[in-house]
Amino acid sequence: MNHPVVLGSTDGGTNWTLQSDPLGGASSMSSLLGISCASTSVCVATGFDDSGAEIIGTTNGGASWTAQNPPAGTRSVPSVSCPSLTKCEAVGYSSVGSALVMDTTQASTSGATWSSQAIPTGTFVTQGISCPSTTTCVVVASARALRTTDGGATWHARALPNSFAGQSVSCPSTTTCFAAGLDPDGGVLRSTDGGSTWAIQSVPTMIYALWGISCPSTSWCVVGGQGFSYGVNLSTSDGGTNWTPRAIPSGTNELQHLSCPTTMICKAAGQTLFGTGVVLGTSNGGVTWRALAFPTNSTSVWGITCPSTSICEAIMNGPFGGPGVGISRSTDGGSTWVLHKDPVNFHPVSLACPSTTICMAVGQNPHGGAVLATTDGGASWIARSPPSTDVVAGLQGVTCPTTTICQVVGYAGVYPTYESAVLRTFDDGASWYDQPVPAGNFGLSGVSCPTVKVCTSVGTSNILVTANGGKAWTSQTAPSGFMGENVQCVSILTCVIAGGTTTVGAIAGTINGGASWTPQTIPVGSSFVWDLSCPSSLICFADGYGPSTAYPVGSGIILATTNGGGTWVSQSVP
């Protein structure tokens, strides 16, 4: 899991600086995906964390960021557009996968509240939004577009040609819009009536996908994406009649986001073939591009917006546990970047909430395992320090049978000689006790305690149980070849474990406290099962990856059982 930052530039991207951690470093934020700046000082960034959607805003050019309030039940917000200092529209989806469109008229207010807007039924996977005015906005989604001319009070659906999967949209006027996406390969659509009808544009072949587009005028656009082994950049100066491939620096794998404050000046962000973030710049309308100096410890740049030719904001993600990720600001056009280490850089992996106000999150920071705790429902988080012998690698699972007692598992030592880390606290993380486990256990990833004394933990080819609160742990025999990822115990006798083998996903269960574990039959095509939630001994839900040959690799799956694992069925996933 990567940790996001925001970078800022006030000189057109020549220099970039890391801006303050948007939520003080104690958030479970995992990814920022979209950003829009109505001015050089007012910006809004959107994305998601482990608990749901994340929206943050700044009114001082990124010197400080404050949390805003998305509609209840929102899971992720991938794109945002702010046509004025107060009005913003964003798209996303709910915790049950429903497409959402939301807006705020308080964009420049700390703690701004967002409200859901009614959209036509049958809308799936809303990805991009562009608002050329405070009343007119266009959304692209899977096989359809949405348009409003009254600030979102009403939205109208319009079909996209060839079941076009829209990824991003740019509307330089209230009537002219361009959309980038897949049809099924990379493609571009154009509308001259505000998104009511769309026409396919002729683009070069051998393009796998087009992800981002920016149109500073009705005739001039730049689009970026991915070929089959290289990055792609196209531009048009005649309103899409002709699209010309443009050479980009070698080693660029894909371009995902673009921002063009003028027809001549653009920035493009993405990833190199070597797994590092890249930002490109052009000052001649995309005829030539050059790589802008960017921190080498970034793995991708997930969003960029330039409200002027010199000031840009960028969202950067870095390597797991690595430094230099967040939101930064460039003031010189991106020629050089200055990045400072995020002082907290917490990467949450697992969360347990024994009450509506008390929660504990475990994961990693650059120094190893890390723990955060809240007693006010997440309004504030306090760092808890696990024993120093167990922070080298990381913490993977947590369960709290009471509001003060929590069990944590993970990895200790140094790769490749990891050992299991098993910890317990009796005072909400103020102090920790390191519990011994049998030799030969090389890391644990999940734990469940149906009572204070009885717990089950799983890891790679190992299952451990305790009946005395962790004073002693014993090994149990896992099904042959089973690699456990998570566990859920609804009682001291009934547990379900999720994971897989080297080739397929797998689920196993026990009704005798782990004396024996029985593999359960799950739908064909599940390549790995990651997580479980069982509200009763009969009903469970699991999520994971689908066939490994699908794109993207490991398409999401949801499985469910209503008879205690006797049968598992696939659920519809958006």
Residue 273 included in any domain: yes
Does residue 380 share a domain with residue 313? no
Does residue 420 share a domain with residue 306? no
Residue 340 included in any domain: no
161 phi/psi in degrees, rounded to 5: -60, 150
The Cα 84–Cα 97 span in angstroms is: 29
* Beta carbons within 8 Å of 530's beta carbon, 6+ residues apart: 485, 486, 498, 542, 543, 544, 545
Does residue 411 share a domain with residue 300? no
CATH number, domain containing residue 464: 2.130.10.10
Residue 337 included in any domain: no
Token pair belonging to 554: 């490991």
pLDDT at 294 over 80: no
Q: Which residue has the higher pLDDT, 136 or 273?
A: 136
Residue 516 included in any domain: yes
Does residue 410 share a domain with residue 321? no
Classify residue 422 as exposed, middle or buried by CB count within 10 Å of its CB (0-12, 13-18, 19+): buried
Does residue 393 share a domain with residue 293? no
Does residue 401 share a domain with residue 534? yes
Residue 341 included in any domain: no
Q: Which residue has the higher pLDDT, 525 or 458?
A: 458
User: Which of 296, 330, 364 is the last residue before a domain boundary?
Assistant: 330
Does residue 492 share a domain with residue 390? yes
3-class DSSP state for residue 388? helix
Does residue 494 share a domain with residue 410? yes
User: Which of 269, 299, 330 is the last residue before a domain boundary?
Assistant: 330
Among the listed ranges 11-25, 129-143, 509-523, 527-541, which one has the minimum average pLDDT value?
A: 11-25
561 phi/psi in degrees, rounded to 5: -135, 145
pLDDT at 97 over 80: no
317 confidence band (pLDDT: 50, 70, 90): low
Does residue 359 share a domain with residue 306? no
By residue range, what is the domain housing residue 100?
A: 4-330
Identify whether the C-beta of residue 233 lies closer than 8 Å to the C-beta of residue 258: no
User: Which of 275, 300, 330 is the last residue before a domain boundary?
Assistant: 330
pLDDT at 27 over 50: no
Residue 483 included in any domain: yes
387 confidence band (pLDDT: 50, 70, 90): low
What's the whole-number average pLDDT of the chain? 82
Does residue 352 share a domain with residue 315? no
Does residue 237 share a domain with residue 366? no
Per-residue pLDDT averaged across 68-76, rounded? 88
Residue 380 included in any domain: yes
pLDDT at 124 over 60: yes
Does residue 376 share a domain with residue 296? no
Q: What is the total count of domains within the chain?
A: 2
CA distances from 200 to 182, 186, 193, 214, 531 (A): 11, 11, 14, 17, 41
Residue 202 included in any domain: yes
Per-residue pLDDT averaged across 64-70, rounded? 85
Q: What is the pLDDT of residues 452-499, one digit of tens each?
A: 999 999 987 789 999 999 989 999 988 888 888 899 999 999 999 998
Classify residue 410 as exposed, middle or buried by CB count within 10 Å of its CB (0-12, 13-18, 19+): buried
